Structure 1
Amino acid sequence: MRFHTRKWVKPEDLNPNGTLFGGQLLAWIDEEAALYTIIQLENSKIVTKYMSEINFMASAKKGDIVEIGIEVVKFGRSSITLKCEARNKMTRETILTVDNMIMVNLDENGKPKPHGKSKIEFVKDRLEDS
């Protein structure tokens, strides 16, 4: 799994227990999945359709650095299915995993649109093809 982003846990990210609020972490993951999908499908009109069971395994506290990793599970006709792991860079523990996140490619009217992709593409490879 490639870890694409890091987030610094700040006081406003904490729950009453003094640890990272799960909702904040899920917002970071949803944003990262959206950015990843926009780049892969080359379309800024995408939505999160589904997120499977979320398995919280550890936490993070103020000052910790959280890494978010995304990996493609499969390409659908108008969707891409991802899996995700968030880990605490300081303790090296996995904070949570999400086995399936389905992101859907949309047309200008907000309807699912085939994307024509079948494999991961890297921006550097697209530039070389030009």
Structure 2
Amino acid sequence: MEKLAIKLCMTKDIGVHGNLFGGNMLAWLDEAAATWACSVCKNPNMVTAKIDEMVFERPVKNGDQVIIYGDVKRVGKSSLTVYIEARAKDFYSGNEETVCSTIFIFVRIDSNGKSIPIDDSVREKYAISN
């Protein structure tokens, strides 16, 4: 898996129960995954089409470092399917524990918002993952 982003959970990110608010985590994942999808497809016009089920496996607390990883699972005609995983890192030991994971599907679009094919070079590069 490829490292996509590192975030720091701060007081402003905490919800009423003292943990990272789930909506903030989802925004972090979507931003990291979408930016990466644009890089993978060599095109800035990738939009989030679907996010699969997300299960929060452990809480993220104020001061925790969150590392977001991604892996290309499939390149379709106009879509890119990626597995995204967030892990909390212990600053002292360096150990990482999975916080949550999900599958995102992005679609390449034109200036009118219509889906258009992803370049064959991307499909060829990730053919093993298909």
Q: Which residue of 1 aligns with 2:96?
A: 92
Provide Cα deviations, 1:27-85, integer angstroms capped at 9, x if missing partner. 00000111001111121111100111101101111111000011100100001000011
CA contact (8 A) 1:49 1:104 kept: yes
Q: Which residue of 1 aligns with 2:50?
A: 50
State the alpha-carbon separation in 2 of the partners of residues 2 and 41 from structure 1. Answer: 15
- Counterpart residue type for residue 79 of structure 2: S
State the alpha-carbon separation in 2 of the partners of residues 2 and 115 from structure 1. Answer: 21
Q: Which residue of 2 aligns with 1:7?
A: 7
State the alpha-carbon separation in 2 of the partners of residues 52 and 14 from structure 1. Answer: 24
- Is there any run of 5+ residues in structure 1 with no aligned partner, and where? 121-130
CA contact (8 A) 2:4 2:33 kept: no
How many corresponding residue pairs?
A: 119
Cα distance, 1:3 vs. partner?
A: 1.9
Instruction: Provide runs of 4+ in structure 1 moved above 6 Å.
Output: none
- Find the residue that maps to 1:93 and give its secondary structure: strand
Q: Which residue of 2 aligns with 1:62?
A: 62
Identical residues among aligned pairs (%): 37
Provide Cα deviations, 1:98-127, integer angstroms capped at 9, x if missing partner. 0x210000011110000122125xxxxxxx
CA contact (8 A) 1:107 1:113 kept: yes
State the alpha-carbon separation in 1 of the partners of residues 33 and 70 from structure 2. Answer: 7
Structure 1 vs Structure 2 CA RMSD: 1.1
Cα distance, 1:4 vs. partner?
A: 1.8
- Is there any run of 5+ residues in structure 2 with no aligned partner, and where? none
- Counterpart residue type for residue 96 of structure 1: C
CA contact (8 A) 1:73 1:83 kept: yes
TM-score, normalised with respect to structure 2: 0.87
Cα distance, 1:92 vs. partner?
A: 2.2
